[in-house]
Structure 1
Amino acid sequence: MKKILAALVAFAALTAAAPAPGADLGSGRYYKGPAYEPAMAVARWTGFYIGGHLGGAFSGSNNFNGAVLSDSSARLLGGVQAGLDWQFAPNWVLGTEGQYSWLGKNNLTATFPGGYVYTNDQRGLGSITARIGYTWGPGLAYVKGGYAYSDNAERVTLGGVPTAFLLDGNHSNGYTVGAGVEYMFVPNWSVKGEYMYYNFGSSRFVTPVALAPFGSFTTEDHTLKLGVNYRFNFASPVVARY
């Protein structure tokens, strides 16, 4: 019995003297596991995108020396867009975009003395623009500008009968400027709202000669659009931060 008690006392003494496991971890080196944050906090805009839009178009109020050409009436529009963005700095994005909008039917008409009537059915608006924007994570505010195209279907009638005509200006090609805001609400998907102004220059009639004295008119449009884009080549849903 005495030998057993002596052995137990010795074992207890050795156990008390042994260092506790991990007691000196504070003095050694250790590694912290990765922390994760949502991709939206570090959204990346670099990549290609495609999408669609809906909105309204409003023609500028123009006239031939008092002969009304348009009444600024609103038309529905819908279209598609595709583009490429490059986030070249933490808060700056540079890009280019092609866009086409189909317009609801709205014949812009000018009636002249003598029975001549000029009609322009503007069927669509296209553009190729550059844009630059300021980003804060999932948000992007931008301005844009570039080439614009107007798909016009024009005619002149005399007493209801179509007649030949010639204009001295090309009001199908022009320019556009605009601004908008885009927001990436989930990875790879964004929504946007934008305003664009289109100007296609001034034109006047060369023939019929009876219309030449009435001067020139300017073709211009104002549009408001809401759109959605699907974006390729973005960051993964999570990123590691050490």
Structure 2
Amino acid sequence: MSLAGPARAADLASFTKAPPLAASSWTGFYAGLGLGLRSTRSDLTSTSADRDGPFDLSGAVITQPFDGTGFRVNPYAGYNWQVGSGWVVGVEGDVGFGDQATTLHGFTYGPFFGWSTYQADSLSVRTSWDASLRGRAGFLLTPATLLYATAGLAWQHYDITSTCVSLSCNDATPAVVSSATTRTGWTLGAGLETALTGNWLLRAEYRYADFGSAPFAIARMANPAPVTETFDAKLATHTASVGLAYKLGEPVSASRSHPMAAQAAMLPSWTGAYVGLGLGARATRTDMIARSESVGDFAFDLTERANTRPFDNVAFRASPYAGYLWQVAPQWTAGVEGDVGFADRTTIREGFTSIFLADSQSPGESLSVRSRWDASLRARLGYLVNPRTMIYATGGLAWQNVELTSTCTSRPCTGFFALSPGVIRSSTTKTGWTVGGGLETALWGNWLARAEYRYADYGKTSFTTARSSTNPDFNPSVNVWDVAMRAHLATFGLAYRFQ
């Protein structure tokens, strides 16, 4: 089916007519600029604590996550060699600039002295610049579209800052302690790159990088004795970016020697139904906000308390999708699409059951947020930068399933407070909105490859955890939480179009 009338049909035929096939090559230097996201996965684990002698850490919660996601810009440059008719190898380097910090308020530096619960005290992990030097190897799906893998060395600069200024810090100095390091690690990823007009190359790329663990120490002078704690910071990152590069020398165009040259010359209309499967990552940004807390007849004042805690995470995601597209003009398309995403990831903060009980830091107390399936129903509007490559915007409704679990099975919970039930689990599906964009290119036959990014906002969801106690002074124990959730979705997809 086509919406083009007789007059527009002539224009469409003129636009989609295959250009003459001429010999060319991907060989040459190129330089470009990428824009995207960097999601950081960081765990801080206490390894020792000392105040007039070492403390035994075996009975304390010693690890907390400091995950987070931020925007990133990365200039890059490299050199490609076209090897034979269908293969490309090369070397590339890039530098990424992003400033993202994850802060846990009410946490200063350790399992014994760090849990002030005051908003003014905090521990934060901040990532700034990164860099990489990598090899690339790719296969030409069509003469102008390259699917590639990339791997090599990576560097990440980050710092850790402890702030302790509340009354619970007992005038410990210095109030702010910061330490920075640049770690060397490895990176691995893949991307899709397509030639536009002239010498311009458009790409979408995903990479994972692992930087291992780095030791840190925080020391303060306190009364009656100095306090020192050491811990390990484990760091890994996920980066997703879209880049535009300029190739020096001759432009990339179709080649008669390429094995897919005959199929690439056929340029059908984009109108039709399609189904596909996407693989990628979902970076969830989640804040848990304590609205109220009461025990028995007593309601706690949360004014100065650290009542917001981050529960961010990153998960791999599979997303079948389907839709219908109309080519409404020689260079414009419009359509509708739906997808369902499957990604199951839980972020757990041990030692947290409520603001009131958070000071105990006992194993067996925790709060967790689990994000599972998501879905969307969206409109699409696309522009054909050449007959076989479309850039598009998309937006519409989105849904996210989320589950909150409060665990209170420690000795203070079951003994002194005598609270039950030990585990409270609640789930809901939130409706929100999503907006994004992507790059889609026609391969051989009826196959389409795409790279897409979307942002989704699901607003706030209210959860209540209520426990009873055999002690009337503690009956009931009630907490009300708001969970605010947003998500970044990066996807590579392969679809089949029905004609």
Q: Give the alignment's TM-score, normalised by structure 1.
A: 0.70
Q: Distance in 2 between matches of 1:74 and 1:236?
A: 35
Residues 99-139 of structure 1: CA distance to partner in whole angstroms, max 9, x if unpaired?
A: 11111432455642313954332112211111111113001
Offset at residue 164 of structure 1 (A):
7.1
Correspondence list, 1:57-206, <5 A: 57-60=38-41, 62-64=43-45, 66-71=62-67, 73-107=68-102, 109=104, 111=108, 112=110, 113-115=112-114, 118-135=123-140, 136-159=142-165, 161-163=175-177, 172-205=183-216
Q: 1:185 to 1:200 in 2, by over 3 A?
A: same
Offset at residue 79 of structure 1 (A):
1.8
Query: SS of the residue aligned with 1:60?
Result: strand
1:6 alignment partner in structure 2: none
Offset at residue 162 of structure 1 (A):
2.6
Offset at residue 172 of structure 1 (A):
1.8
Residues 37-82 of structure 1: CA distance to partner in whole angstroms, max 9, x if unpaired?
A: 245xx441100001101111111152425542413x3211112111
Do the aligned residues in 2 keep the contact of 1:171 with 1:201 (CA within 8 Å)? no
**Are 2:211 and 1:211 equivalent residues in the alignment?**
no
Offset at residue 151 of structure 1 (A):
2.2
**Are 2:28 and 1:47 equivalent residues in the alignment?**
yes
Query: SS of the residue aligned with 1:186?
Result: coil
Q: Distance in 1 between matches of 2:213 and 2:149?
A: 25
Q: 1:164 to 1:189 in 2, by over 3 A?
A: closer
1:37 alignment partner in structure 2: 20
2:241 alignment partner in structure 1: 225
Percent identity over the alignment is 25
Aligned residues: 198
Query: SS of the residue aligned with 1:149?
Result: strand
Q: What one-letter code is carried by the residue in structure 2 that aligns with 1:130?
A: G
Q: For structure 1, list consecutive stretches of 5 or more residues without a partner in the other structure.
A: 1-35
Q: Give the alignment's TM-score, normalised by structure 2.
A: 0.36
Do the aligned residues in 2 keep the contact of 1:179 with 1:196 (CA within 8 Å)? yes
Superposed CA RMSD in Å reads 3.0
Do the aligned residues in 1 keep the contact of 2:194 with 2:201 (CA within 8 Å)? yes
Q: For structure 2, list consecutive stretches of 5 or more residues without a partner in the other structure.
A: 1-18, 46-60, 115-120, 167-174, 220-226, 258-499
Q: 1:62 to 1:238 in 2, by over 3 A?
A: closer
Q: 1:108 to 1:140 in 2, by over 3 A?
A: farther
Q: Distance in 2 between matches of 1:179 and 1:60?
A: 20
Do the aligned residues in 1 keep the contact of 2:199 with 2:246 (CA within 8 Å)? yes
Offset at residue 90 of structure 1 (A):
1.2
Q: Distance in 2 between matches of 1:91 and 1:163?
A: 55
Q: What one-letter code is carried by the residue in structure 1 that aligns with 2:90?
A: G
Do the aligned residues in 2 keep the contact of 1:142 with 1:179 (CA within 8 Å)? yes
Do the aligned residues in 2 keep the contact of 1:43 with 1:138 (CA within 8 Å)? no
Residues 185-238 of structure 1: CA distance to partner in whole angstroms, max 9, x if unpaired?
A: 2231110001011111112335647423xx533111101111111001225879
Q: Bigger radius of gyration, 1 or 2?
A: 1
Of structures 1 and 2, the one with the larger relative CO (CA 8 A, separation 6+) is 1
Task: Give 1 or 2: higher helix fraction.
Answer: 1
Do the aligned residues in 2 keep the contact of 1:171 with 1:203 (CA within 8 Å)? no
Query: SS of the residue aligned with 2:25?
Result: coil
Q: 1:59 to 1:188 in 2, by over 3 A?
A: same
2:473 alignment partner in structure 1: none
